[in-house]
Chain A
Amino acid sequence: MNWTAYIRQKMGVLFSMDTWLPTELPEYAMGLMYTLGSLTASSFVILVLSGIIMAANGPQWWTISSIGFYLRGIHFWAVQAFFFFMILHLLRVFFSGAWRGGRERTWMLGTLALLVAIPTAFTGYLMRGDFYSQWNAVQSKDGLNALGFAWLNPLNAGQMYGLHVVVMPIILGTIIAIHIAFIRIKGVVPPYPSHEELEEILNKEVP
C-alpha cells in the first residue's frame, strides 16, 4: 500500500461516524462507570464555551460585570467538575487495567491530559486578578525559575493570559481528542477473561 492510500484509510477510520458517534457498544461497557470519561469531556466543553465568552469580552469583564462574574463562576465550577470526573475516570480505568490489549498509548495520553490540565488550570487561577492570583504568581515563580522555565513568567499577566486562553487549551484539547480517538478505535478494554476462555484461546495458538 502506498502512503497516500495508507493515510486515506487511516483518516477514513479516524473521521468516521462509527468512530465518534457509534450506535452500538460492547455489553460490558454500560452504566455509570462508563459515563465518567464523557462527563470529563463535557466539562471541558463547558470550560471552552464559558472561556470563549469571557475571552471575547476582555480580561476585566469577569471581575467588574455581574454577567461576567456569573460566567466566571461557571468556569470555576466547571474546572472543579473537570478534575473531579477526570480523577474518577482515572480510578475506573486504572482498576480495569485499561492498558491491556495494546491500549498503552491511550493510557499514556490520558495521564498526559491530567498533567497538562494542571498548568492549564493554574494559569486560569492567575487570571482571577485577586489575592489568589497575586500569591500564586509570586509563589510559582521560584519553582519555574529553579527548573529552568524562567521564560514562563507567572508575573506577566499578558503571557499567562495567552497561555491560558490559547496555548494550553489547544494542547490539552488535542491530547484529549487523540485520547478519545484511541479509545474509540481500539474499543473500551474488556473485562479480565476467565480461565476457560484463556485456556481455549492459548491452546488454539500453541497446539
Chain B
Amino acid sequence: MRHYHPRVDVTHRYRYVPADFVKHLMGTTLVVAVLTAVLSGVFHEPVRPALKINTYATTHPKEFLTVALGDLNGTGTIANYGPPYNHGTGSVQDFVQKWIGVIHPVYPREDFVLKPLGYAAHLNPGLAPALKQFTHASSAQQRRWEKAFGGSLKQARVQGSQVLLPSGAYGPVGTMMQGLLELGQSGLMAGALNRSPADYQFDNQNALLFLQGSPLHNAAKKLELEGNQWGIIHEERAPYPGPWWMTIVTAIYQIPFIANASAADALALGSGMVIFLVLMLAPWIPGINRLPRLLGVHRVIWRKFYATHQPDPVDISHSS
C-alpha cells in the first residue's frame, strides 16, 4: 500500500500566492512577546516557598527527630533505597537500576546524622562526648540505644519547638538527637548535609533526600501534588496552569495496576514512551496513518480550498 504519491502530494501542483514571510515571523514573535510580557506583568509566575530544614525542625520538631532516627537506625526510605545511593533494596524497581550501581553514594547514618553532628560538635562541645560514646560502642549497643530512643520519642511531648522526652535507656542518643534538632533549627543543617568532594556547592542532593520522606510528602499531600492526586500536572497555586503537557503520563499513574506496582515509575514512564512511539511512527502504522482522512477534520482545515477547487477529496493510499 502506498501512502503518498510523488506526483500527487507535492506543492508544485498548486498555485502559489505572494506572501511576506519576514512579516509573518515578525508578527508571530511580536504576538508572543506582548502576550507573555502582559501575562507576566499581571499574573507573574506562581511561587510556593521552599520547605526549609530549619522551618520544618522548628514547626515539626518531633517529626524531624523521627526522620533523623530513621536515618540513624537504617529504617528510613533513603537508608534502604538501593542504587544509585547505596546497597539497600527498598526502592529498587528493576534490574537496570541495580546494574547502574551506586553512583551517588548516600549513607544516611553517616551523611545525615553522624557527620552533621561532628560539625555541630565544634560549636556545641557538649555533643562531642555523646558522639564519641556512641561511635565507640558495639553495634548491638547502638541498636539498643536507638530502639529505646524510638520508644521514648513516641511518648514525647512537644512544647513550642522543643521535644520533651521521657527518660529511657537511650544513652548518648538522646543528647545526639537533641543536638541534631538544634542544628536543624539553627539553619546550618542544609550546609552540613550538602557537602560534595568539590569545594564549590552546586548540589542540593542530600538536603533534599533528608526532606524527601514525610516532610515533603506531607506538604505535597496538602497541596494535592502527590502522584495519585494527578500531582505531576498540578500547579501548586490554582488557577495557574501547571505542566499540563505531562497529562498523559500523569493519567497512566492513576491506573490502579500501575499505581500499586512496586515498579510504578518504570511502568508508567515505559507506557508513556510506548504511546509516544505510536505518535511518532503514526505515518507507518496502518489504520492510524489513514485516520486523518477518515476523521474528515481536513475538510475544515482546507474548507476554503476545497470549496473552490475540489469538492471530493480522497486519500491516495485508499486508491493505489
B70 located at the interface, meaning its Cβ lies under 8 Å from any Cβ of chain A in the complex: no
Query: In residues 38-92 of chain A, which contact B (Cβ within 8 Å)?
Result: 38-39, 41-43, 45-46, 50, 69-78, 80-81, 83, 87, 92
Instruction: Considering the complex, give the chain B residue whose CB is closest to the CB of A199.
Output: B319
Whether A131 contacts B219 in the complex (CB less than 8 A), given A69-B45, A101-B6, A194-B314, comes out as yes
Is B83 located at the chain interface by the 8 A CB criterion? yes
- From 257 to 312 in chain B, residues with beta carbon under 8 angstroms from any chain A beta carbon are 263, 265-266, 268-270, 276, 279-284, 289-290, 292-293, 295, 297-298, 301-302, 304-306, 309-312
Q: Is A6's beta carbon under 8 Å from chain B?
A: no
A30 touching B17 in the complex, CB below 8 Å, given contacts A131-B51, A192-B315: yes
Which B residues, 1 to 58, have Cβ-Cβ distances below 8 Å to chain A? 3-22, 24-25, 28-29, 31-33, 35-37, 39-41, 43-45, 47-51
**Given B48, B293, B295, which contacts A132 in the complex, CB threshold below 8 Å?**
B48
Q: A191-B305, A194-B314, A195-B314 are in contact. Are A96 and B32 (CB under 8 A)?
A: no
Contact A74 B13 (CB under 8 A): no
C-alpha gap A111/B283 in the complex (Å): 12
Q: Are A143 and B269 in contact (CB under 8 A)?
A: yes
Interface residue stretch chosen among A8-16, A120-128, A163-171: A120-128
B residues less than 8 Å from A39 (CB atoms): 28, 31-32
Q: Which of A77, A92, A125 contacts B36 (CB 8 A)?
A: A77
- A174 interfacial by beta-carbon distance below 8 Å: no
A108 touches B (CB below 8 Å): yes
Who on chain A is nearest to B44 by CB? Answer: A73
Asked if A173 is at the interface (CB within 8 A of a chain B CB), the reply is no
CB within 8 Å of B: which A179-207 residues: 186-198, 201-202, 205
A7: Cβ under 8 A from any B Cβ: no
Report the separation of the CA atoms of residues A72 and B284 in the bound assembly, to the nearest whole angstrom.
41
A193's contact among B3, B205, B314, by CB below 8 Å, is which? B314
Q: A99-B3, A157-B203 in contact; A25/B314 too (CB < 8 A)?
A: no
CA distance in complex: A138, B99 (Å): 21
Asked if A125 and B243 make an inter-chain contact with CB atoms under 8 angstroms apart, the answer reads: yes
Tell me the nearest residue of chain B to A38, going by C-beta. Answer: B28
The 9 closest A-B pairs by CB, nearest first: A158-B202, A101-B9, A73-B40, A187-B11, A99-B283, A194-B310, A192-B313, A95-B297, A150-B84
Can you name 10 extra interface pairs (CB under 8 A) apart from A81-B32, A103-B4?
Answer: A30-B19, A77-B40, A83-B244, A97-B290, A101-B8, A130-B48, A145-B91, A150-B84, A190-B8, A198-B319
CB pairs A–B below 8 angstroms (22 shown): A23-B19, A27-B305, A41-B28, A45-B32, A72-B40, A77-B35, A81-B32, A83-B245, A97-B315, A99-B282, A100-B4, A111-B276, A125-B243, A135-B216, A145-B84, A147-B266, A147-B270, A156-B205, A187-B11, A192-B298, A201-B5, A201-B7
